[in-house]
A and B are shown apart, each in its own frame.
Chain A
């Protein structure tokens, strides 16, 4: 592995960077196109997520019919859920699905000899998929918003922090997805690991129910874990539910986890590629 890496590292730093960026762009574009190529299948996938989002909105409309609960009235909850939904649609399945398949089949051995950084390449693909996911997620959210009578614009006060937080969502979600896909090196089971991760993320990210509905201890736990930054933080900033020091703290936690998970992924990859088992020959 190191030999390959040093073999690539020739030329001036600027050239190296340009070459790396070109690879990233190519990988991202290929990922995007691979989704566009199978339109019908992914349109049905889109239908599934739309239904889930609509069900949530119906449920919350009934819950909030009586009035404000935990600081949320119906218009605020609507906006919160839709922002959380769009955030949740990013890096939602393709990256780890591919990775896990290649690890289980042993094709990952080919990735080991490629003269590009593995994690960085997967991130470039995640960006490509992300373009598609963001587009479809926004489309679904717009349709759902139209059905349920529109959504307010983001709160003025926190718009800058909201932008920062929104940009952090994709790398943060990538971190969790990448790390959980690497777990397949040890478990060789993907479906179970994936559905366990989805359950944890869905609950603790505040994507279904705002963390304010949890009792204090659970809320504190969720806010300190990496999950809150995947939906709750940007959605709360959008509706103006976070302000002042609390807002800054939430975004700082989000950024810290993004960096931490990136390096955790690096460390795990080093361990994983050392103990890879490939069956057959």
Chain B
């Protein structure tokens, strides 16, 4: 375990140094991340200028959900962006090198990229998170602080697990594009808003089948004690464990099918 963490850090560190060679890229990606997330906030603000609440959720409550999406996305992109390289790696037979090294193949794949737009996401998500909590007028009891810490730690793991799971489609589809996992990433974006606005089918998908709602909506209900069942947010660690197990299972099944590329 200690060795795995150490190796993971070393792999990411190498990626970081490689990425920092291109300083211009770093700034462009950070500005792009800020613009993209900022656009979402302007969008929410424009809506809430005209109506006070949607299904009982006020502006700052929704901003909290939104900030959790930015934070989880930031961490997932910074620490496990490699999941998105699976399509190309499998298509070109790049797993051959991975498989002969004495380090968990899945961890190697995950640490094979670092997304510098993660920092922009983290900065904006963090400030929105703090601002939303201050404006939402919550009182800081020790229980609430513990809840916030717990869900914040586990929510990114939900996203990382689901990223691995959906990107493992590469083993079956074998195309060099990540269109299939990207479709699910878009599905996950639905969790940027209170999921009570959706129909029953969408809600079940987002909370049980592919529990994207556990990266943002449910944690937010737990922190704010909002919605019909805020205790559901405390299941975030369970959801995170479940998603990681699913991801690892899919990766192992995929490896059994892997047959490298010709020549």
Contact = CB atoms under 8 A, between A and B. Distances in A.
A142 to B, nearest CB: 19
A200 B31 CA distance: 12
B28 A192 contact: yes
Interface in B181-211: 182-183, 185-187, 189-190, 193, 197-199, 202
The number of chain B residues touching the other chain, given as a range, is 35 or more
A38 B47 CA distance: 38
A5 interface: no
B68 to A, nearest CB: 17
Contacts of B198: 55, 58
A264 to B, nearest CB: 21
Given A41-B179, A51-B183, A192-B25, A63 B47 contact: yes
28 contacts: A40-B173, A41-B180, A44-B179, A47-B183, A48-B186, A55-B189, A58-B198, A58-B199, A58-B202, A59-B193, A62-B54, A62-B55, A69-B50, A187-B24, A187-B28, A188-B24, A188-B25, A189-B25, A189-B29, A192-B29, A192-B32, A193-B32, A195-B36, A196-B28, A196-B31, A199-B36, A200-B35, A213-B49
Interface stretch (B38-46, B153-161, B231-239): B38-46
Contact of B28 (A40, A51, A189, A208): A189
A244 interface: no
A59 B33 CA distance: 23
B175 A38 contact: yes
Contacts, number: 108
A213 B47 contact: yes
B242 interface: no
B197 A196 contact: no
A192 B31 contact: yes
Interface in A64-81: 66, 69-70
A47 B25 CA distance: 30
Contacts of A193: 28, 32
A47 to B, nearest CB: 4
B221 interface: no
A61 B202 CA distance: 15
A59 B51 CA distance: 13
B175 A40 contact: yes
B216 interface: no
Interface of B: 22, 24-25, 28-29, 31-33, 35-36, 38-39, 42-43, 46-47, 49-51, 54-55, 117, 173, 175, 177, 179-180, 182-183, 185-187, 189-190, 193, 197-199, 202
B197 A58 contact: yes
Interface string A191-209: 1110110111011000011
B54 A45 contact: no
B70 to A, nearest CB: 13
Given A45-B179, A51-B186, A209 B36 contact: no
B197 A62 contact: yes
Given A55-B189, A55-B190, A193-B32, A199 B39 contact: yes
Given A44-B182, A47-B183, A55-B190, A70 B39 contact: no
Contacts of B28: 187, 189, 192-193, 196
Contacts of A48: 179, 182-183, 185-187
A209 B179 contact: no
Contacts of A149: none
Given A58-B199, A192-B25, A192-B28, A45 B46 contact: no
Contacts of A248: none
- Which of B32, B33, B117, B190 has the most chain A CB atoms inside 10 A of its CB? B32
Contacts of A49: 186
